[in-house]
Amino acid sequence: MSVLVYTESDKGTFKKTALEVASYAKTVADQMGTTVTAITFNADDTSVLGNYGVDKVLKVNNSQLETFNASGYASAIADAAKNEGTKVIVVSSSADSKYLAPLLAIKLDAGYASNVVEAPSSTSPFTVKRTAFTNKAFNMTAINTDVKIVGVSKNAFGVKENSGSATAEDFSPAIPELGVKVESVDKVTGQVTIADAEIVVSGGRGLKGPENWGMIEELADVLGAATACSKPVSDLGWRPHSEHVGQTGKPVAANLYIAIGISGAIQHLAGINSSKVKVVINTDPEAPFFKAADYGIVGDAFEVVPKLIEKLKEFKAQQ
């Protein structure tokens, strides 16, 4: 009967989204008068999950599942859900969770709602608020199946601490033969990724060329931020596609989004709309981004950004 949450870890350490989905699961469990069970893969120390409302942890340690595998992980989570008699499964909006959730839905005949931004407004009928039209609207969605899967948007619900402790037990589900095998993983190390970043610094065509990205990277470095770019910049090949944010690129749900030399096309604004605080720096006061941002500077990025870096360095030094 407990709410089951898939808490993602990287090399044994829980991601921030794992703590956020655990917090969400705790809220749902309270609404339904039940407990929270988490499922983890190849994570050793799971005690931290107790601080976010998890009562019990099912630890899967399986060499076949050392790297993420959507159908393998979905199969394990489905088994756990059946064992626990789970009615609600909570996952995140990471690339991996979004990959496995539809497979899990089919295994359990469960309805699935992705990009959910709030706790259920009602548990009967089970109704959640999710983003639609690439953040241009919200959609209240009812999940009418016996088992329900909720995909929680990043940085929408927040991490909520809870004094508690989690018991842990080993869980060894049978893993079917896997039809998709990971050959190699190419991950940037030592850099903040757009998916995990609290702050994102983004550059547009106003920067005139890829050679001018040094100051964007420096600003990102001072803030501990990820770098991103607009669609034209990635189409021109100035920056890799993986940095393109917007409707056909990556969504950004950061605490702070700083747009430099980006005019703010509707597709770009849709992609970054879930960010909490937006700052725009642009020479053109008529740029649409000024209507979407919280703070703005009308000015030349090549003058403003170096000054901003300097002031931020002074500020950081005082902290």
Partner 1 sequence: MKILVCISHVPDTTSKINFTEGDTKFDTTGVQFVINPNDEFGLTRAMWFKEKQGASVDVVNVGGPETEPTLRKALAIGADGAIRVNTAATDGFAVAQQLAKVVQDGGYDLVIAGRESIDYNGGMVPGMLAGLLNANYVTNCISLEVDGTNAKAVREIDGGKETVSTSLPLVIGGQKGLVEESDLRIPNMRGIMMARQKPLKVVEPVDANTETASVKFEKPAPKGAIKLIDPDNVEELVNLLHNEAKVI
Tell me which residues in 177-206 interact with partner 1 (CB under 8 A): 179-188, 191, 193, 195-196, 198-199
| DSSP string of 306-317, one letter each residue | HHHHHHHHHHHH
Q: Which amino acid is it at 70?
A: A
Angle at 199 between CA 70 and CA 298, to 5 degrees: 135
Q: Which is nearer to partner 1, 12 or 172 (CB)?
A: 12
Count of residues in contact with partner 1, rule CB under 8 A: 94
State whether the Cα torsion 75-77-83-88 is positive or negative. Answer: negative
| Smallest separation (angstroms) from partner 1 to the CB of 315 | 5
* Chain centroid to CA 223: 19
Site for partner 1 in 202-231 (CB under 8 A): 223, 231
Site for partner 1 in 283-312 (CB under 8 A): 290-300, 303-304, 307-308, 311-312
Is residue 248 within the footprint of partner 1 (CB under 8 A)? yes
Site for partner 1 in 255-274 (CB under 8 A): 255-256, 265-267, 270, 273
In DSSP terms, 60 is beta-bridged to 41
| Smallest separation (angstroms) from partner 1 to the CB of 13 | 14
* Chain centroid to CA 90: 13
Name which position in 42, 145, 162, 212 contacts partner 1 (CB under 8 A). 145
In DSSP terms, 197 is beta-bridged to none
Q: Which is nearer to partner 1, 4 or 226 (CB)?
A: 226
- Burial of 31 from C-beta contacts in 10 A (0-12 / 13-18 / 19+): middle
Segment interacting with partner 1, rule: CB under 8 A, options 47-55, 110-118, 159-167, 208-216: 110-118
Q: Which is nearer to partner 1, 179 or 214 (CB)?
A: 179
Is residue 159 within the footprint of partner 1 (CB under 8 A)? no
- Beta strands at 137-143 and 126-132: parallel, antiparallel or unpaired: antiparallel
| Smallest separation (angstroms) from partner 1 to the CB of 157 | 17
| Smallest separation (angstroms) from partner 1 to the CB of 299 | 3
Q: Which is nearer to partner 1, 214 or 237 (CB)?
A: 237
| Smallest separation (angstroms) from partner 1 to the CB of 168 | 26
The number of beta carbons lying within 10 Å of the beta carbon of residue 69 is 22
Q: Which is nearer to partner 1, 12 or 133 (CB)?
A: 133
List the structure tokens of 96: 């991996």
Cα(200)–Cα(254) distance, rounded to whole angstroms? 7
| Smallest separation (angstroms) from partner 1 to the CB of 56 | 27
Name which position in 13, 64, 83, 139 contacts partner 1 (CB under 8 A). 139
Name which position in 60, 79, 244, 260 contacts partner 1 (CB under 8 A). 244
Name which position in 72, 120, 206, 249 contacts partner 1 (CB under 8 A). 249
Site for partner 1 in 46-75 (CB under 8 A): 67-68, 70-71
List the structure tokens of 253: 């749900």
Cβ neighbours of residue 29 under 8 Å, at least 6 residues apart?
A: 2, 3, 35, 36, 53
- Burial of 298 from C-beta contacts in 10 A (0-12 / 13-18 / 19+): middle
Q: Which is nearer to partner 1, 48 or 103 (CB)?
A: 103
Q: Which amino acid is it at 38?
A: A
Cα(197)–Cα(290) distance, rounded to whole angstroms? 23
Name which position in 80, 90, 156, 279 contacts partner 1 (CB under 8 A). 279
The DSSP secondary-structure symbol of 47 reads G
